[in-house]
Structure 1
């Protein structure tokens, strides 16, 4: 032992993390390349959980720079892995991987509605993410009988299929190293940088226009994530402070946002117009569009089975708060992305896609064709 020489790491991956940690513990920031290299070492290398945890906790304490945010994102799945698929447009939805424990999570059913409107979507996540371990899209899909282990090629095929028009891809398939460190989140007692960046994961690009929608709760990441979406060439980007950190709007707006406080339903984003970035920010008030609730309702039972049943009932035309959530969230998302010029028109076309049975048909086609 030569303590004066410090800890150098028992293997190349450990050495990468040790070198980065020396800078982090001094309050310094890493470059993009250093962060991506360290992130890959943590996700895929052989080293103690204590060393991984020290690096991740230190980064959170320092507050990640923009280059570090980019580095963590690309350590999971880099831009060189993004595949072009044969659809004119595609929207990525990035929700918290830890699921829902209070409110119905409509992402899967919104994707089916948007598919019926000719707007393809891709969802991504995990089966369960501790310590919250809420209800996820993957759990709901499993209850409905769909496959949840699609490869990127299989997902692309379903998105391109006009009878389907959307797909879900598990992190287990596109980034197994990131999936395997889920339990580390429990032990470090802090949200690692990936809790924010994994929502901005891009898996595919469309032939004409790509869009991204991200949910968040804790402020601070929305600006760098929008910048990242802009720099990667997306036609429009949207971040929403929604229910449980998702991009989903509550059915009632509480106290409006102020300069010091962002309300639930606060939305900000950009549209790319003639090569220029046009930014916007606003609260979405459901009452302005005919959704008049005295309080934001919750679903009675929180389980994958309850979510699956409620979503299928709404897609079958069953009116109520779940139906209203699908209509409001689909319409407002497409309006803010610039896919529909008038919010009231967006609501009417969303209702038609559900009431006609077309949205339900797309979801049923997804379930069946995921097995082909």
Structure 2
């Protein structure tokens, strides 16, 4: 229970510069016992301390911080004392203390930081503190460039001569209040001979929502095929799409799952892990992703442009920050055509589709999402069908992948004929 209580307080305090709430005196008084408890994760302690030192304190917090500075060993485990004393010879620790002071890192320092995240000798509590300090300070473009590059270089990746790959890059921590049909959209795109890749993980913090991995497992399919097997499926004209799991193509990042749960906060890892193109066209992928916070609307696409590894990119203000577009109104779309970045609105009405109320359900179950998605592939005229057709139509139109005077009719025919279902049935078996 003590771990849960500390995590609860961290969720309150460590949200971020804009959404953070201050702790009251009674909550601060709890911290001494929580920090010293053997049943509490050092990662959670370090992350809470980082939040308290990085974010602007209220009067109660300022008084508490001064008390701890005067006698840190009375309040903190020995490993955490240097956060207040500054007494450490560890270079990674020094980087964290620098960021806590709102000092930006050089590219070289940021590259050193990303290396430490994957150093098995580095304590996880320092990894959590580094990620938290960066997110609360707000990563600079230079820092993010180094972080993105560091992750890119460590992930396994294969190249294919396929001239087009649509890469659907949803957040790996999943969904807990909306239906996500990206796997079924991928099957529909494949039925038009547009190769498509979806990638994710079984479950990861902070949301720990359902993912494409879970949907595949529920469908009796294997979400843990090799990179080579996924490439074969993608290049197979009878299938034309694939799912690839982080555990397979980036196991070192997968192994940080526990640390990410115990730090509670969403780190920059979540921003970039979905952009790593584990199967990449030699010409660069057509990457589709989403965002939630306005800052990352521009940051993500500018990083992709700077990196130069995708052919084009489409970033949506989708449901739960995903590529899944709402059917109830227009959505912001940021389009990178390989040269320029432009912002526009997309709407179901652009394609002659009706506006429908978007489903928001905190009790949503992946079994229901799977059932509805498969029903749509079978020609059932349900909500999933409209969502899949709309998402596919926007992707095809923005990337100019299919030339047809009645694209919606073509998409409907691919569902009604069972061709998209045939692709689904052959996936990851």
Bucket of the pairwise TM-score, normalised by the shorter protein: 0.7 to 0.9
Cα deviation for residue 72 of structure 1 reads 2.1
> What is the TM-score of this pair, normalised by structure 2?
0.75
Are residue 316 (structure 1) and residue 378 (structure 2) matched? yes
Are residue 239 (structure 1) and residue 321 (structure 2) matched? no
Cα deviation for residue 80 of structure 1 reads 8.3
1:268 to 320, 334, 337: 334
- 1:210 and 1:347 map into 2 onto residues whose CA distance is 24
1:297 to 352, 359, 381: 359
Quickly say closer, same or farther: Cα 1:30–1:152, change in 2 above 3 A: farther
Larger deviation, residues 49-58 vs 226-235: 226-235
- 1:367 and 1:76 map into 2 onto residues whose CA distance is 26
**What are the residue-to-residue correspondences of 1:144-183 with 2, within 5 Å?**
144-183=219-258
Q: Please name the residue that 2:416 is paired with.
A: 355
Are residue 6 (structure 1) and residue 87 (structure 2) matched? yes
Quickly say closer, same or farther: Cα 1:5–1:270, change in 2 above 3 A: closer
Quickly say closer, same or farther: Cα 1:5–1:280, change in 2 above 3 A: closer
Q: Which runs of 5+ in 2 are unaligned?
A: 1-77
- Contact 1:100/1:134 (CA < 8 Å) preserved in 2? yes
- Contact 1:216/1:246 (CA < 8 Å) preserved in 2? yes
- Contact 2:88/2:94 (CA < 8 Å) preserved in 1? no
SS in 1 for 2:202: coil
Choose 1 or 2 for highest CA Rg: 2
- 2:195 and 2:425 map into 1 onto residues whose CA distance is 15
Q: Please name the residue that 2:144 is paired with.
A: 69
SS in 2 for 1:78: helix
Q: Please name the residue that 1:47 is paired with.
A: 122
Deviation per CA, 1:143-192: give whole Å up to 9, x if none.
11221112222211111111111111111112222112223233333211
SS in 1 for 2:394: helix
> What is the TM-score of this pair, normalised by structure 1?
0.85
SS in 2 for 1:73: helix
Q: Please name the residue that 1:333 is paired with.
A: 395
Q: Please name the residue that 1:284 is paired with.
A: 346
2:162 to 79, 87, 103: 87
1:78 to 129, 150, 153: 153
Deviation per CA, 1:235-260: give whole Å up to 9, x if none.
2111001001101111111xx6xxxx
Quickly say closer, same or farther: Cα 1:347–1:40, change in 2 above 3 A: farther
- 2:361 and 2:402 map into 1 onto residues whose CA distance is 29
2:188 to 113, 125, 148: 113
- 2:184 and 2:364 map into 1 onto residues whose CA distance is 17
- 1:300 and 1:188 map into 2 onto residues whose CA distance is 24
Q: Please name the residue that 1:346 is paired with.
A: 407
SS in 1 for 2:244: strand
Quickly say closer, same or farther: Cα 1:34–1:158, change in 2 above 3 A: farther
1:141 to 205, 216, 221: 216
Quickly say closer, same or farther: Cα 1:300–1:52, change in 2 above 3 A: closer
- Contact 2:155/2:250 (CA < 8 Å) preserved in 1? no
Q: Please name the residue that 1:261 is paired with.
A: none
- 2:327 and 2:292 map into 1 onto residues whose CA distance is 17
Cα deviation for residue 195 of structure 1 reads 1.5
Quickly say closer, same or farther: Cα 1:94–1:80, change in 2 above 3 A: closer
- Contact 2:334/2:341 (CA < 8 Å) preserved in 1? yes
Q: Please name the residue that 1:259 is paired with.
A: none
Quickly say closer, same or farther: Cα 1:340–1:34, change in 2 above 3 A: farther
Quickly say closer, same or farther: Cα 1:115–1:217, change in 2 above 3 A: same
Count of aligned positions = 346
- 2:341 and 2:406 map into 1 onto residues whose CA distance is 22
